[in-house]
Amino acid sequence: MPLFRPKEYFRVATVGEAVSLLKRFGGAAAILAGGTDLLVAKPPHVEYIVDISRLPLNYIKKGARGVRIGALATLNDIAASPELREEPYDVIARSTWDMGTPLTKNFATIGGNICNAAPSADMPPSLIALDAEARIIGPRGKRRVFLEDFFIGPKKSVLKRGELLAEIFVPRAPANTKAVFLKKGRTSEDIAQVNVAVRLTVDDGLCKAARIVLGAVAPTPIRAKAAERMLEGKGLKEISQIMVDVARKAAEETKPISDVRAPAEYRRSVAEVLTKRALLNLMERFGGA
Amino acid sequence: MDVIKEFKVIGKRLPSHDAVEKATGQTKYADDFALPGMIYGKILRAKYPHARIKRIDTSKAEKLDGVYCVLTHKDVPNNAIISRFGQTRAVGGFEGVYRVLAEGKVRYYGEPVALVAAETEEIAEKAIDLIEVEYEELEGVFDPREAMDPKAPKIEDGKSNVVARFKIRKGDVAKGFAEADVIVENEYMSQFIDHAYLEPEAGVAWVEDDGSITIRVSTQVIEHYREIAHVLGIPESRVRVITPKIGGGFGGKEDITVEYYLALLAWKTGRPVKIVQTREESLSFRSKRHPYKFKYKTGVKKDGTIVAVEAELISDAGAYMTLSPWVLLYSTVNAIGPYNVPNVKVDSYTVLTNHPPSGAYRTFGAGQACVAYEQQMDEVAKKLGMDPVEFRKKNYLKKGDTMANGWKIPNTVALHETTDLVLKYLGKKPKPSGPKKLVGMGIASGMCSYGRMIFLHDTSRSKVRLELDGSVTIECGVQDVGAGQEASLCQIVSEVLGVPLKKIRIISGDTAATPIAGTTTATRQLYMSGNATYLAAMKVRDNILTKASEIFGVDKSELIIEDEKIKTKDGKSISLRDIAVACAADGVELFCEAQFNAPFGEVPDPETGQGRVFPDFTYGTTGAIVEIDTETGEVEVKKIASAFDVGTAINPMRVEGQIEGGAAMGIGWALTEDVKFEKGIAKAQSFAEYIIATAVDVPEIKSIIVENHDGLGPFGARGVGEVVLAPVPPAVINAVADALGKRIKELPITGERILLALREKS
């Protein structure tokens, strides 16, 4: 493993400064936020480090329209935030639980977990399930992308040269929305073999909206849309009856690979089990089981 | 040992002298050290698991600014050497050739080919990239059974890959099996496991003013200075090895790690040189626990009496022989476990492959054997329809029985007691916590020797000195791997001389400054250096008591030492400080360097394996309760209880620490750890892929200490460092098998293997 000794290190004070450096150096630059991915991966092509850790992007704020989470909020900030205790936002806090040791979580940021674009990342499924959007700042100003569309492949996102993820915006959820996050790793602190977030919005006893988002089972986090459609418009009792089929359908929508962590077949089985358990959990909480 | 009747320090729960220093980050490990003008060494490693080296061109690397030297095998005075392991006696048939740098061909992926020393790590790294090596790839062999085939590629050209084999022949197995009512045959395996110590291999070497070489390196064996001198072609007296506190060893720092490279680079450049291996290097290229393939055949009577065991053991030695024959002998002697079996036939082989050399790893092959024989015990019990605990109890060794190698056990085997204590703690098997859950309970008993094989004629020396103010200095060449090797010696001296621990200082691990105390391996330091230190302290004690008896005019036997005083029965006393001053004035020796010799013996008969191999054993039992999620295959270890007869616990807290550490390590062995070599290349390159149990995964562990006070160590202690691991993996594996009603014979038992087993069952 070669040493990681980039040529230059910049600690930026403003977002503008970060953007101009990122634009100037392009692929030769890497953003350092918590460093828990970058300093482990030590990518050899990186010559410039743009340290954004001092930017004022560490916040979690709840407003009338939703929750804004600064890209520099650490996983432990999220885990402990009073703004993320209420349903369905609690699922965001829950997603941090099995992501490594407390020491790692004091450094690791939500922005880093997203921008690293690992298919197995634990934060994206819950955020996608809540229709979160990524707020991006770049040389041409600001833009917004649904987090669902943010990832384009393993370690690849829609961020263009010079762009920075500044904030995650989670829109205010409709009444009666609940969500759950489940994960399976080899040990409690392992990278996910499979993770899943499921969210249901129920109105008048009928499922108005459903999201099933799975991680580590495809090149990016994916929505199991066919499975979601099976839920929408259904009554709670009916959902309880078709849960197993929905979970099977969700597993069919995955495209897992075999690697050192798990064989593809195992990933698909666990995707089904976790989806079923997530639905069961929501049914119990909605009182429909 | 009956001189001291009531212990004041021995057996007490006392914090170690270096606990605060370690907890606050003050301890200077191998990498926490630098010298002015220090340069950095890097290793060029083979890019193929098996290839002929056609050409090495170092010219471009040599021309790079900041490079001090580039070395290949041609620059090593004695490149091909016979590897020895801190032993003072050469034993034929056990030692193989080891090459410092690859010569002619590379035998494993990552084998060191060349060395660079440069001004900075970056320059050294660049220079490594500039070395051109032309290879001609050769067919590799990665399975020891395939490597045994005479037609398989040869690791050492023209020689068999089978580098050692052992036999045990006790009684008549044919007759035994003829008498058996039930015969059970099975195959088992154990996988490649990494030591995963916190501190990767590291050190600094420099040339002294007189031209001799000093190496400050993380090692379990400072006595490798002899081999280093041999590689350099200089007298042993001109090489000094110092080990600071070691950030974990577990056997991985028993053979040479970076010492040769450090010594060569310092020697050639005249500059201090540092090498710190990366985690990737440590995981991918350093020695691993030997994987084994086992075949077991057990014959039993209907009442559960074992009448015969036949076993075949094959271990993967990797590309160099190093310690593999020793490890294999341990497995062979341990092959039938702590059971009384009249008819035994064991055949064992260790075979070269194109994997990195396998090496020492806590239990040294006894643990792998335990994984096999304890699964087999459960399988036999199941076939008999007998409770596995009752079946074991029927066959446990006891004092006076003979082991498979014909050795008659002279002291307590407390397995009935350890098993009962474990069962009592575990209680009844609990109900599953939910509908898709299964609960299982498993038991395993194990044994491990302490002290080295007796044909090595092992010795240890230690020196104790009473200072003129009544404090004490111990000088002993122990390597402290973190298990309290130093602290135990301090406790022994504190007991013998009545000096409080805070007034005792120990200087350890330096071949030029401390008496040679042998390796910190084989669970031998408390036994060997503990006894040597005890002898030295007792001599000093005798000298000061003699002086005090003159002063008080009473017999020595009338005097007691406690609380830094020598006291008479009628209330008179003299402080240690005053007695030291009095002794010094009269020329009475206030120091002693003592040597302890283990029992000496010879290599067992090669055709029958009959003959004593070890000084003694420690025995014990582990029980585990697991819960399995039948839908995800997840195994949760709910409870572990381990009980061992440790003879005498010098410090119960340290014994518990060892038992807990053994349990955590054993859980990883059973459930998660796997280096996963594919065609000789490790798939696990970091702790994100190589998964060890963390604090969250380790359950409540009940450590149970049994003391029968008849070990060979000081105050009747037995060694505990290795045995505490041995029965843990099979206990967990047996618990999983109990839960599933089916045995998974591949390790580790991952979620996918559990789901597969459940599918096959239904």
For each of the domains in chain B, give its residue range(s) and CATH number, in order of start: 19-28+459-597 (3.30.365.10), 33-138+201-276 (3.90.1170.50), 292-453+603-761 (3.30.365.10)
Q: Percent of chain A, pLDDT > 70? A: 99
Instruction: Delimit the CATH 3.30.43.10 region(s) of chain A.
Output: 8-51
Q: Where in chain A is the domain with CATH 3.30.465.10?
A: 60-171
To the nearest whole Å, the CA of B507 is away from the closest chain A CA by 35
State which residue of chain A sits closest to B283, comparing Cα positions.
A1
Give yes or no for B688 touching A (CB within 8 A). Answer: yes
C-alpha dist (Å) from residue B514 to A181, B518, B593: 58, 11, 10
Span B459-489, pLDDT tens digits: 999 999 999 999 999 999 999 999 999 999 9
pLDDT band at A289 (very low <50, low <70, confident <90, very high): low
Q: Tell me what pLDDT residue B3 has.
A: 66
Position B762 scores a pLDDT of: 85
Q: What residues of chain A lie within 8 A of the CB of B122, using their CB?
A: 3, 5
Contacts of B437 in chain A (CB under 8 A): none
Q: Are B628 and B754 in contact (CB under 8 A)?
A: yes
From B121, B281, B634, residue closest to A184, measured CB to CB: B634
| pLDDT of B95 above 90 | no
Instruction: Report whether pLDDT(B219) > 80.
Output: yes
**A40, B688: Cβ pair inside 8 Å?**
yes
Q: Quickly count helices (H) and strands (E) in chain B.
A: 18, 30
Q: Which CATH class is domain A177-286?
A: alpha beta
Token pair, residue B64, equals 């790079």
The reported pLDDT for the residue numbered B4 is 74
Measured in angstroms, the CA of A267 and the nearest CA of chain B are apart by 9
> B750 and A190: CB-CB below 8 Å?
no
Q: What is the token pair recorded at B719?
A: 């060694």
> Which of B121, B125, B691 minimises the CB distance to A190?
B691
* pLDDT for residue B85 is more than 90: no
- Residue of chain A whose alpha carbon sits nearest to that of B629: A273
Q: Do B121 and A3 touch (CB under 8 A)?
A: yes
pLDDT of residue B516: 97
Buried/exposed code over A243-259 (b: 16+ C-beta within 10 A; e: otherwise) = beebbbbbbebbebeee
Task: Give Dmax (Cα) for chain A.
Answer: 61
Shortest Cα–Cα distance, B202 to chain A (Å): 16
Using the beta-carbon criterion (under 8 Å), do A266 and B693 form an inter-chain contact?
Answer: no
| pLDDT in the model for residue B1 | 44
* Mean pLDDT for chain A overall: 96
- Which one, of B225, B277, B349, lies nearest residue B115 by Cα? B277
Question: Of the candidates B617, B621, B619, B616, which has an alpha carbon nearest to the alpha carbon of residue B703?
Answer: B621
**Residue B713: predicted pLDDT:** 98
B278 touches A at CB < 8 Å: yes
State the average pLDDT over residues A153-159: 97
Start-end of H helices in B148-295: 173-179, 225-232, 259-269, 279-285
Question: Are residues B575 and B470 in contact, defined by beta-carbon separation less than 8 angstroms?
Answer: yes
For A192, how many CA atoms within 13 A lie in the half-sphere containing its CB?
32
Structure confidence at residue B571 (pLDDT): 94
3-state SS of B356-382 is CCCECCCCCCHHHHHHHHHHHHHHHHH
Residue range A8-51 forms a domain whose CATH class is alpha beta
pLDDT in tens, A187-217: 888 999 999 999 999 999 999 999 999 999 9
- Among candidate residues B335, B343, B82, B130, the one with its CA nearest the CA of residue B231: B82
Distance from CA of A234 to the nearest CA of B (A): 26
In tens, the pLDDT along B626-642 reads 999 999 999 999 999 99
Pairing mode of beta strands A206-215, A194-203: antiparallel
Look at residue B43 in the predicted model and tell me its pLDDT.
98
Length of chain A: 289
Q: For residue B671, give every residue at least 6 positions away whose Cβ sits within 8 Å of its Cβ, in sequence order, or none.
A: B635, B637, B693, B732, B748, B749, B750
SS3 B299: strand
- Range A255-271 average pLDDT: 96
Among A122, A243, A244, A266, most B C-beta atoms within 10 A, so best to mutate, is: A266
Per-residue three-class SS string for chain A: CCCCCCCEEEECCCHHHHHHHHHHHHHHEEEECCCCCHHHHCCCCCCEEEECCCCCCCCEEECCCEEEEECCCEHHHHHHCHHHCCCCCHHHHHHCCCCCCHHHHHHCEHHHHHHCCCCCCCHHHHHHHCCCEEEEEECCEEEEEEHHHCEEECCEECCCCCCEEEEEEEECCCCCEEEEEEEECCCCCCCCCEEEEEEEEEECCEEEEEEEEEECCCCCCEECHHHHHHHCCCEHHHHHHHHHHHHHHHHHCCCCCCCCCCCHHHHHHHHHHHHHHHHHHHHHHHCCC
Of B122, B676, B694, the CB nearest to A189: B694
- The residue among B637, B752, B755 with the most chain A CBs within 10 A of its CB, best to mutate, is B752
B121 touches chain A (CB under 8 A): yes
Question: What residues pair up with B39 in beta bridges, in sequence order?
Answer: B273
Query: What ipTM was predicted for this assembly?
Result: 0.92
Query: What mean pLDDT do residues B330-345 have?
Result: 98
Distance CA B612, CA B404 (A): 10
CA distance B612 to B41: 45
Residue of A nearest to B749 (CA): A186
- Using an 8 Å CB-CB cutoff, list chain A residues near B696: 187-189
Question: In B, which residues are within 8 Å of A188 by CB distance?
Answer: 694, 696-697
What would the DSSP string read from start to end of B642-704? EEEE-SS-S-HHHHHHHHHHHHHHHHHHHHT----EETTEES--STTTS----TTT--EEEEE
Taking CA–CA distances from B42, the nearest residue in chain A reads A2
Question: In the CATH hierarchy, which top-level class contains the domain A60-171?
Answer: alpha beta
The conformation of residue B37, written as its DSSP 8-state character, comes to T
What strands lie across the sheet with A177-184, from one edge to the other? A177-184, A194-203, A206-215, A222-223
A-B Cβ pairs (cutoff 8 Å, strict): 57
Chain-chain contact of B632 with A273 (C-beta, under 8 angstroms)? yes
Residues 445-484 of B with CB under 8 A from A: none
User: How far is the CA of A173 from the CAs of A177, A216, B607, in angstroms?
Assistant: 6, 26, 78
Q: Is A175 left (phi over 0), alpha (psi -120 to 50) or beta?
A: beta
The answer for residues whose C-beta is within 8 angstroms of residue A284's C-beta and 6 or more apart is: none
pLDDT at position B97 is 86
pTM score, whole prediction:
0.96
| CA distance linking residue A256 with residue A276, whole number of Å | 18
Peptide bond into B357 cis (omega under 30): no
Q: Give the per-residue pLDDT at B92.
A: 65
Q: Is A187's CB within 8 Å of B281's CB?
A: no
- Per-residue pLDDT, B86: 60
Dihedral sign of CA atoms A125, A127, A128, A129 in order: positive
DSSP B430: P
How does pLDDT run across A72-113, given as a tens digit for each residue?
999 999 999 999 999 999 999 999 999 988 999 999 999 999
Report the percentage of chain B scoring pLDDT > 90: 95
Contact A188 B694 (CB under 8 A): yes
Span B250-276, mean pLDDT? 97
Q: Could you tell me the pLDDT band of residue A288, with boundaries at 50, 70 and 90?
A: low
Whether residue A266 and residue B689 make contact (CB cut-off 8 A), yes or no, is: no
Nearest CA in chain B to A1: B280
Q: Which of A5, A187, A191 is opposite residue B693, by nearest beta carbon?
A: A187
CA dihedral A19, A23, A24, A29 (to 10 degrees): 80
Under an 8 A CB cutoff, do A266 and B676 touch?
no
* B752/A263 Cβ within 8 A: yes
pLDDT above 60 for B2: no
Contact (Cβ atoms closer than 8 angstroms) between residue B294 and residue B328: no
Residue B74's CB is within 10 A of a number of other CB atoms, namely: 10
Residues of A in contact with B125 (CB under 8 A): 2-3
Distances (CA, A) of B632 to A178, A266, B199, B624, B690: 24, 8, 34, 21, 20
Domain with CATH 3.30.390.50 in chain A: 177-286
Please state, rounded to an integer, the average pLDDT across all residues of chain B: 96
In this structure, of B3-7, B81-85, B527-531, the range with the lowest mean pLDDT score is: B81-85
Distance from CA of A261 to the nearest CA of B (A): 7
Chain B residues with beta carbon closer than 8 angstroms to that of A262 = 750-752
Q: Where does residue B7 fall: left (phi above 0), alpha (psi -120 to 50 degrees), or beta otherwise?
A: beta
Yes or no, beta carbons of B751 and A270 under 8 Å apart: yes
